A = this chain, B = another copy of it.
Amino acid sequence: MSTAAGSRSVGLVKPQVAHFDEPLLLACGRSLPDYELVYETYGELNPERSNAVLVCHALSGHHHAAGYHTAQDKKPGWWDECIGPGKPIDTDRFFVVSLNNIGGCHGSTGPSSINPATGRPWGPDFPSLRARDWVNSQARLADRLGIGCWAAVIGGSLGGMQAMRWSLEYPERVKHCIVIAAAMKLSAQNLAFNEVARQAIVSDPGFAGGHYLERGTVPAQGLALARMVGHITYLSDGAMASKFGRDLRRGTLEQGDDGNVEFQVQSYLRYQGSQFSGNFDANTYILMTRALDYFDLAREYDNDPVAAFTHARCNFLVVSFSTDWRFSPQRSREIVDALIAADRPVTYAEIEADEGHDAFLLPIPRYLDVFRAYMLRVGADV
């Protein structure tokens, strides 16, 4: 925890756990008998309980979005650039709730949890989830915290999809919906990359059909490969070029060098992969990518996004990044077009940024300015 970061940081934070005894009926038709959600909060809930903001996480995210767990932590939460005193999601104004979704692997009930029916980890038998299941479980957390209506539901990537689903499922409980670097559904290319990632995991012998916890194995190589593939899609071609180019970490490209060459980008990817495989659960990764695949905002509205968004009652901010090729600006413009056609108030910003999809996590000045300005408007509605 650095002093510089600390000066605009929410500081030390402590995760909390909410236990829910009532079964949660899931979109797949099964029920989760009981479950726990781990979450953090930043800032203070006002007496009117009207300044609460929900932050939804992306594929590999979790509840720890801002601040530090210990004074020794080197890195803050994953969205510390955007959450804190004076930051776009200003904790001097808002009460921020950030949770780990069910199915996750950071403390909320998921495939690594014990299935009460068997006394063993759920593993691959954990129910299939959709974004709406997360939204429903988040609504129960809101009930528990006494939050009738969110000042804003906010998310990037898969988090943005949850925010959109909130606007349709609980229109009376959302005043503003902030959708960053997202899409109304995955393209065939998106689906293809997810499939490669899952195949890498399930074909790792350590996966053991998903029963690796009981077997004491770890599908580390498969998870690492999945992360490497994902990571390439999070960065733009240009960002990789300026970050690594063709720089060598080992060997030379001279004639006479017998192939002992390693490029910087190779070792970087391998490092990212191995870090991830030590910290993430394989069944969760499969479950989360499937939820992404299945997400289709307008499917149950006759595949008409305009018809879908007529159910929303909130204001929208949509943000995209110029070099994002996972969910390109075109995908955000589709959201904006549908919102306009549905006569919903929408603000749209396409941010020039070299960093690709990852830009939504980074302190890009115009992005932070747009985000901050919109959040001032959210604050005025509180």
Contact = CB atoms under 8 A, between A and B. Distances in A.
Q: How many copies does the complex hold?
A: 2
Nearest to A260: B128
Interface string A267-304: 00110010000000000000000100110100110000
Contacts of A232: 189, 192-193, 196
B228 A188 contact: no
B265 A192 contact: yes
Interface in A244-277: 244-246, 253, 255-259, 261, 263, 265-266, 269-270, 273
Interface stretch (A13-21, A26-34, A50-58): A26-34
Contacts of A224: 199, 203
Given A240-B189, A241-B187, A205 B205 contact: yes
Interface residues of A, number: 58
Contacts of A140: none
A258 B225 contact: no
Contacts of A189: 232, 235, 237, 240-241
Contact of A27 (B128, B187, B255): B255
Nearest to A204: B203
A307 interface: no
B199 A225 contact: yes
A187 B224 CA distance: 22
Interface in A180-201: 185-189, 191-193, 195-196, 199-200
A196 B269 contact: yes
A180 to B, nearest CB: 21
Contact of A246 (B28, B191, B237, B325): B191
Given A225-B199, A296-B253, A240 B192 contact: yes
A254 to B, nearest CB: 8
A228 to B, nearest CB: 5
A131 B244 CA distance: 23
A260 to B, nearest CB: 9
Contacts of A127: 258-259
A75 interface: no
Given A195-B270, A199-B228, 4 more contacts: A130-B255, A188-B240, A191-B246, A192-B228
Interface of A: 27-30, 127-128, 130, 132, 185-189, 191-193, 195-196, 199-200, 203-205, 221-222, 224-225, 228-229, 232, 235, 237, 240-241, 243-246, 253, 255-259, 261, 263, 265-266, 269-270, 273, 290, 293-294, 296, 299-300, 325
11 contacts: A29-B255, A127-B258, A127-B259, A186-B246, A188-B240, A188-B241, A188-B263, A196-B232, A199-B225, A203-B221, A253-B296
